[in-house]
Structure 1
C-alpha cells in the first residue's frame, strides 16, 4: 500500500478480508514521489477497517465522499432494485413504523447515512487532520473545485482543473474529457446516473427529520456545514 510513499484510502461510502501485511503485498510498490490509492465502497462504515488500516500505516490519509443521506439512501435502493426487482418498497424498508416515525436503522441504506457514528469510530485511530471529506453534491456542480481541494489535502500541485471536465447531459453529472492517450472521453458506467425511484415527499421529509440531528453533529465534528437540510 505505501512502500515507502504516501498511502491514501478513498472511503466511499467491504472490510479488509485479509490481514494488513497480506493486503499490503497486493499493492504496487510506491516511490517517495508517488501516491498509492485504494478505494472500496464501504470501508467508512466497516467497524474493523480503521483499526486494520491504522495497524498497517498510521500516516495514511483518508478521503471520504459523502452526500445528503436521504438522497444516498434512495440511490442505494435504486441500485439494489435494478438487480432485485422483487424487493419491498423503499418505505417498507426504511421504516419499522412510519405512522410513529420509527426509522429502521438496521437497514444498511439508512445506517450508512448516519455519518457521525462511523466517523466516531475512525477518530479513535486517525486524527481529523488526516481525513478529507468530499461533498458528493459539489463533486457534480463543481468537480474541479472539489478535486482542487483534494489535491491540496494530498500536498499536490493543482493539475486537474475545469478544462478536464465536461457535463454529460445523459448521465446528469460531469465526465472526464478525452485524454491524449484515448480516442474516447471517460465517464462512469451504465450503473451510474440511473433515475432515482420516485419517493413520496412525506417519506422524504420524515427521513430528513430523522437525519437532521446526525447531520448537525457531523457538521460540528468535521467543521463544515454540508447544507443537507
Structure 2
C-alpha cells in the first residue's frame, strides 16, 4: 500500500513522464522508436489541474494502452469546442485529454513519445481524442498531424460529430440538466466525477445583436467561401 501511494504521488507530480518509453506507430505496428527531432528523450512535465484529473483517470484505469489520438478537435476558437469535448467524453467509447495539449503548435519539439504519454489509456474499440483549437490557425499543424498518422480525423465544429466518428448514439437528455443560474444545460455526471459540472464562466455568453444590414453584407461576403466548403466536404450546410 505504501508503494502504491508513493507511485501515485510521483505520477501526479509528473515524475513518471521522465522515464523514457518506446512509442510505436499504432497504424503499422512497426518497432521504430519515435523521439524528438533532435534525438533527445522528452523531458518531464509538471501536471496542471486538468492534467492531474486525467492522470488520476489513467492510473485508476490500469487496463488498455496509451495511443496517439484517432480524432482531434482543431477548431474553431469560441465555436463550442470545449462543450463538444465534454459532451463526447460522456460516451463510453471515447477517452480524451481534458486540457489542451498544444503539441502540434507549441510543444512539437518535445517529441511524439511525450505527446502519446499525455493520452489516457484506452481499450480496444475506444477512441482517443484531444482538443486544441489553435491547430486550425497553425500552418505547420496539418503536416505534423499527417506525419504522426494519416488516419487521424480532424474535427471542426460545424456538423454532427458523432456521425463523423461512427459512434453509437447514447448521449441523450438524461445526461444534462438546465442550470437556471448559467442559463444553459450542464452535465449531470461528467467522467471521473460524482458531482454535476458546468462549463466555465467564459462559456455560454449571449450573442450580440447584429443589425440586419450587417448580416446581409457578411452573408454576401462569405457565400463563395461557403460554396467552396460545400464542394470540398460534399455537404450543404444551408448557411445561405
For the superposition of Structure 1 and Structure 2, which TM-score range results when normalised by the shorter chain? 0.5 to 0.7
Larger-Rg structure: 2
Count of aligned positions: 148
Residue 204 of structure 1: CA displacement? 2.0
Q: Supply the distance in 2 between the matched residues of 1:173 and 1:211 (Cα, whole angstroms).
A: 29
Q: Supply the distance in 2 between the matched residues of 1:32 and 1:5 (Cα, whole angstroms).
A: 13
Residue 169 of structure 1: CA displacement? 5.6
RMSD: 3.1
Structure richer in helix, relative to its length: 1
Q: Supply the distance in 2 between the matched residues of 1:170 and 1:221 (Cα, whole angstroms).
A: 41
2:71 alignment partner in structure 1: 8
Provide Cα deviations, 1:122-179, integer angstroms capped at 9, x if missing partner: xxxxxxxxxxxx3xxxxxxxxxxx4xx51x4334443322321334465454332245
Check 1:56–1:161 CA distance in 2 against 1; reply closer, same or farther (3 A cut): same
Q: 1:28 aligns with which of 102, 119, 127?
A: 119
Tell me if the contact between 2:67 and 2:128 (Cα under 8 Å) persists in the aligned partners. no
TM-score (norm 1): 0.53
Superposition pairs for residues 1-229 of structure 1, below 5 Å? 3-4=66-67, 7-13=70-76, 16-19=105-108, 22-26=111-115, 27-28=118-119, 30-31=121-122, 33=124, 34-66=126-158, 134=159, 146=160, 149-150=161-162, 152-168=163-179, 171=182, 173-178=184-189, 182=193, 184-229=195-240
Gaps of 5+ in 2: 1-22, 27-65, 77-101
Structure richer in strand, relative to its length: 1
TM-score (norm 2): 0.51
Match of 1:42, SS state, is helix
Residue 201 of structure 1: CA displacement? 2.5
Match of 2:227, SS state, is helix
